[in-house]
């Protein structure tokens, strides 16, 4: 493995789709904690549902690896992830947080979109969820420094996915664009 591959693998693991998905919810919950009765409970529910989803799919051989590299395995998994997000929409609608509800809707739309696209093509989940986190972060805390920071991270993660031959340039660009566009329309 080359040094470039090791660096690419590091950034790919640091900003994986599961972590950035969870961080997007955490960011909203922390930003709007006064309108959410049980922020810790919501985060725990989110964590448990998503880990259970992954473990069930892995246990029954429905996914071959944790990144769900095989495009043909993604539609079924993203459908299950969409159901988890429907639960989050219901939970969010029971709070006074329109931000949490908007993010739950955006992430549901991202899950669903990834599943539909995966029927015929492969889009980068890393970029979808990272771009959603970037948009949410900048929408909550507008700052030129944050824009530059997240811009650099987006480019590095996109490069890492291509470097590791997990995606083409088109797949990471489409992932980033959809990850920015969907929350823009819903937040």
Q: How confident is the model at residue 7 (pLDDT cuts 50, 70, 90)?
A: very high
Per-residue model confidence (pLDDT) at position 152: 98
Model confidence, pTM: 0.94
Does residue 165 have a pLDDT over 90? yes
Contact between 61 and 171 under an 8 Å Cβ cutoff? The reply is no
Res 38: pLDDT: 87
Residue 141 structure tokens:
């805390």
Average pLDDT over residues 11-29: 93
Tell me if 127 sits within 8 A of 176, measured CB to CB. yes
Instruction: Classify 10 as helix, strand or coil.
Output: helix
Domain boundaries, the chain: 3-186
pLDDT of residue 178: 97
Percent of the residues in the chain that have a pLDDT greater than 90, as a whole number: 84
pLDDT for 37 equals: 83
Nearest to 114 by CA among 184, 149, 67: 67
């Amino acid at each position: 493995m080359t040094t470039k591959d090791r660096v690419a693998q590091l950034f790919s693991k640091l900003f994986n789709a599961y972590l950035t998905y969870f961080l997007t919810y955490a960011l909203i919950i922390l930003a709007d904690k006064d309108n959410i009765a049980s922020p810790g409970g919501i985060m725990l529910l989110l964590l448990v549902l998503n880990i259970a989803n992954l473990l069930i799919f892995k246990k029954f051989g429905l996914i071959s690896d944790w990144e769900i590299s095989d495009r043909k395995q993604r539609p079924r998994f993203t459908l299950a992830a969409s159901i988890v997000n429907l639960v989050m929409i219901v939970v969010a609608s029971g709070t006074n947080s329109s931000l949490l509800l908007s993010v739950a809707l955006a992430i549901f739309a991202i899950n669903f979109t990834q599943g539909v696209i995966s029927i015929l093509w492969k889009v980068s989940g890393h970029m979808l969820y990272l771009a959603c986190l970037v948009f949410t972060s900048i929408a909550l805390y507008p700052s030129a420094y944050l824009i530059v920071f997240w811009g650099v991270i987006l480019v590095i993660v996109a490069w890492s996915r291509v470097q590791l031959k997990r995606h083409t340039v088109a797949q990471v660009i489409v992932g980033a664009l959809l990850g920015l566009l969907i929350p823009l329309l819903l937040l």
